[in-house]
Amino acid sequence: MARELLHVSAIIDASILHKLLILFKNKCVGTPDIRAVEHGGETGGRLRSMPSGREFVLAYMAQHKSFNVKDMKAAGEAIGIKPATSYQALKMLVDRKAISKTAKGVYRAGNVKALKQAAAIKQGVANGSAVAS
C-alpha cells in the first residue's frame, strides 16, 4: 500500500515547538520549515502584516496628539519598525502638512484635510495621481 503524505502548515505557540519537533522526528520528508512570525497577531483568522511607516506614524499620532520624535521612533522599534522608516514617514507627513513641527523634535497633528488625505493613501495612489507612501 502506498504511503499517503500531507503538507501541513500552521502558526503555533513557540512554547510547543520542542514537542512538535519530537513528534516529527523520523516522520518528515525533509526538514520542517520553521519561521518566526515577525509581527504576529491575527485579524479575522488572518495573520496581520507589519504596518507601514506611514500607518504606524498615523496610528501613533492618533494616540498622542503631541509627541516627541524620539518616543515615536522607540515605540516603532518596539514592534519591529526601524527608526529610519518611521522618521521617513514622519518627514513625508510633515511635507504634506498632515503633521506639523511645534518645537525641536516635537510634532502634532496638522491640517485636518491633509491628515485625511494622508490617511487615505493606499497602494501609492491618491486622487488619481501616483504618490509615495
What digits encode the pLDDT tens for the residues 37-80? 666 566 665 666 778 898 889 888 888 888 999 999 999 998 88
Three-state DSSP class for 129?
A: strand
Radius of gyration of the chain (CA): 21
Q: 91 or 63: which carries more pLDDT confidence?
A: 91
- Count CA atoms closer than 13 A to 107's CA, side-chain side: 28
What's the topology of domain 53-127?
Answer: Arc Repressor Mutant, subunit A (1.10.10)
Could you tell me the CA-to-CA distances from 125 to 37, 70, 94, 98, 111 in Å, in that order?
29, 30, 18, 17, 20
Give the start-to-end residue ranges of the domains of the chain. 53-127
- How many other β-carbons are positioned within 10 Å of the β-carbon of residue 8? 7
CA atoms of 100 and 74, how far apart (whole Å): 20
Residue 97 has pLDDT above 50, yes or no: yes
